[in-house]
Structure 1
């Protein structure tokens, strides 16, 4: 691999990049800060951790399952009106959750507000990734911009829960919920007001059948989604398998360090991928990078001890961000002029669905037959999905 001549500073110095990215980052920070306050606010209001878990699950289900529908609305009617409305609705729903929890409101109302907040969660991250494609030329600068975006997002979700946890030590969870509500409204509206988002208009009325057809009906696009699904499933399964493997080797503390190193490795991988020229088409890169992630993560079935597991998990993490970066770049191309939000959102959804399936399946298999068996089964399924991805990408 040879070093690229384009630099990250060139991408960041492109007109409108910094104000657009800064506004989006402010709005996206809300997602990294909302889950812990939501969990504890509902728990305090209902006196039940089970009810709190249900509220978080409802929020997550609404956010993930309806993401393609929200992206379709943006592509159909334009980013500024739809995203602006979603930002205000989400901020209002989270604020309503805060008020209801502080007032010890009815359990049913808390559940309704949780699922409503998830249902209207504005896709600021996917829209920002579309904005990168409009702000910088395709090729080197776009790769660097998307790599930087992925690294910052990893750090956001690494630091956000820690900040939220520290805040909850001194602030009522209900009051803490106002912070993400304010962040998403302020950052989201600033993002919506940028010229780049304003230029994301809806589809013209005379759209062709090609534009109306679902992206999921296109083989090459499905080939992009499968590695993202595999990456999500690996991330989700590690969140269950690592604590199981380290139960007798440091327990929760060692597992927390190892999973944190996975996120750290992912951030490093994103920086490295943005700094070097990787040969091969996006389809080949996706399969190769996902294979690296799968191979290294599977080693947790055979290594023992906190140090060995941490090293393996950190090394696997190096491949995680590059998989998602290439998937977003390929989705940007596949979406064409009128389906880019839908394309990038489907990549997000595939990752989220994979994460949910991975964590659930890992828990069931580990409980039934132990970690090595669970890893073997899941690795086999993941390998088959990557083979299918390679076949679909090559078919004309």
Structure 2
């Protein structure tokens, strides 16, 4: 496959008016996603010397963000992205700065948790906002798949750039600088995105005589995919912890970043290719195949016994990441009404976020109990669980026939999503 074949469809995406601006703004606004949790750990641990307390504060921030994100997305579906996002960013910036001041000034520790929860709770789920804009702009289902693949690649770049950046800033300058940089980047990118009103999804008018719409999370497709993404996120969280522990045991802690970067690179490459190939089968079939492929590829982690094997296994396992995320997003987009799309996409991201939190905790406990090499069982089993959950949910996913091409004109609501 030539570079022109791979990159041509992505270049044509940016012929859509305003797409360069909203996609790049979304990338900047998403940089805090991996930066704030790690930044909070480095900040609190640097001030107190307690990684237990640091992990608890970081977990409170992540949990509040995961819960609040879909709620704000629901409001944006009803009132518009720009209006809501501008108000959220104001709170996000204020609470983030207040959190740093409270920690560095030695305020009561309960206030650290309160401010961390408020900061996380005012953060918008930027990825779902950008994907909803692509869905609004592109009439062709295959081009939407390409756009979703592009955003999956953007997510990978964020997770490649964010952690090293916040670590360098916190260690080379001062612990608060890493967290504050994430807050500033998120605020600048979020406000930039909020100002782009021409490309935000059209707000669907609510019929006062119609029954109250169900939460998009009650859509069976969204629930199944969010559950699969929970297991996928557990792989991400566990692997970050286990790779760092394994590299430390091998006497080469600096190579942990290399191994994780190779893992992400595999996903990035697969995402670019998956976004342009025209695969046979329905959206449901593609999702099930990619979920099973993800579960099988990660079983290579059982054989890790050296850093060389880790890098090779990580690259192969990484190739399976983007396809399952892109196919899941495409399936959700085809099964919910436009008026609930942002919320539905936010719930799938919440599944990933919660999975990362759970996976990190389980991996840390496994390393303490068994050692880092044996702890690779955690991400391997989590990946297998993702495949099992997808297969168990297959009957629910197959209840509705997937459209080959989904029209943009008018409201598209399948029976499952029409409540």
Pairwise same-fold verdict (TM > 0.5): yes
Per-residue CA deviations over 1:271-329 (Å, capped at 9, x if unaligned) read 11123222221211111111111111112213432212221111111111121112122
1:240 positional shift: 4.5
Residues matched between the structures, number: 395
Matches within 5 A, 1:310-389: 310-362=311-363, 367=369, 370-371=374-375, 378=382, 381-389=385-393
**Which residue number corresponds to residue 235 of structure 1?**
236
1:276 maps to 2:270: no
Aligned residue number for residue 184 of structure 1: 186
Residue 27 of structure 1 contacts residue 188 of structure 1 at CA under 8 Å; is this kept in 2? yes
- CA separation of 1:80 and 1:381: change in aligned 2, threshold 3 A: same
Match of 1:171 in 2: 173
Matches within 5 A, 1:85-234: 85-196=87-198, 198-201=200-203, 203-206=205-208, 208-209=210-211, 212-234=213-235
User: Does the aligned pair in 2 maintain the 1:148–1:271 contact within 8 Å?
Assistant: yes
Aligned partner of 1:84 in structure 2 is: 86
- Judge conservation of contact 1:79–1:192 (CA < 8 Å) in 2: yes
Q: Which whole-Å CA distance do the structure 2 matches of 1:331 and 1:121 have between them? A: 22
- 3-state DSSP of counterpart to 2:320: helix
User: Which residues of 2 match residues 239-254 of structure 1 at below 5 A?
Assistant: 239-242=240-243, 249-250=250-251, 252-254=253-255
Name the TM-score, length of structure 2 as normaliser.
0.84
Q: CA deviation digits over 1:236-261, x for unaligned, max 9?
A: 33334545666754564444432222
Distance 2:313 2:145 in 1: 27
Any conservation in 1 of the 2:238–2:362 contact (CA below 8 Å)? yes
Contact 2:26 2:127 (C-alpha < 8 Å) held by counterparts:
yes
Distance 2:151 2:229 in 1: 17
How big is each residue's C-alpha offset from its partner over 1:19-44, in whole Å with a ceiling of 9 and x where there is no partner? 11222222222334333433233334
2:393 matches 1:392: no
Shift of 1:360: 3.8
Alpha-carbon distance between aligned partners in 1 of 2:250 and 2:295, rounded to the nearest angstrom: 23
CA change 1:101–1:372 in 2 (3 A) is closer
Query: How far does residue 120 in structure 1 lie from its aligned partner after superposition?
Result: 1.0
Q: Contact (CA 8 Å) 1:77, 1:203: kept in 2 or not?
A: no
| Structure 1, unpaired ranges of 5+ | none
Q: 2:44 aligns with which of 42, 45, 55?
A: 42
- Superimposed CA distance per residue, residues 212-250 of structure 1 (whole angstroms, 9 cap, x where no aligned partner): 123343333334334323322332333345456667545
Maintained 8 Å contact 2:228/2:387: no
Once the two structures are superposed, residues 151-192 of structure 1 have per-residue CA deviations (whole angstroms, 9 ceiling, x without a partner) of 122112211221222222442233444323332222211211
CA separation of 1:310/1:203 partners in 2, compared to 1, >3 Å: closer, same or farther?
Answer: farther
Secondary structure of 1:275's counterpart equals coil
The TM-score with structure 1 as length reference comes to 0.88
CA offset at residue 5 of structure 1?
Answer: 10
Pair 16,177 (structure 1): closer, same or farther in 2 beyond 3 Å: same
How far apart, CA to CA, are the structure 2 residues paired with 1:139 and 1:199?
A: 17
* Change in 2 beyond 3 A, CA 1:265/1:375: closer
The match for 1:267 is 268
CA contact (8 A) 2:89 2:187 kept: yes
The whole-number CA distance in structure 2 between the counterparts of 1:329 and 1:111 is: 36
Tell whether the 8 Å contact from 1:242 to 1:255 is kept in structure 2 after alignment: yes
Unpaired runs of at least 5, structure 2? 401-419
Deviates more, 1:5-14 or 1:43-52: 43-52
Question: Which range is displaced more, 48-57 or 307-316?
Answer: 48-57
Q: 1:25 aligns with which of 24, 27, 30?
A: 27
Q: Distance in 1 between matches of 2:169 and 2:60?
A: 24
Q: For each residue in 1:9-64, what CA deviation from the matched residue of structure 2 results, as whole angstroms up to 9, or x when unmatched? A: 11012111011122222222233433343323333444543332222111111111
Query: 186-195 or 338-347: which moved more?
Result: 186-195
The SS at the match of 2:233 is helix
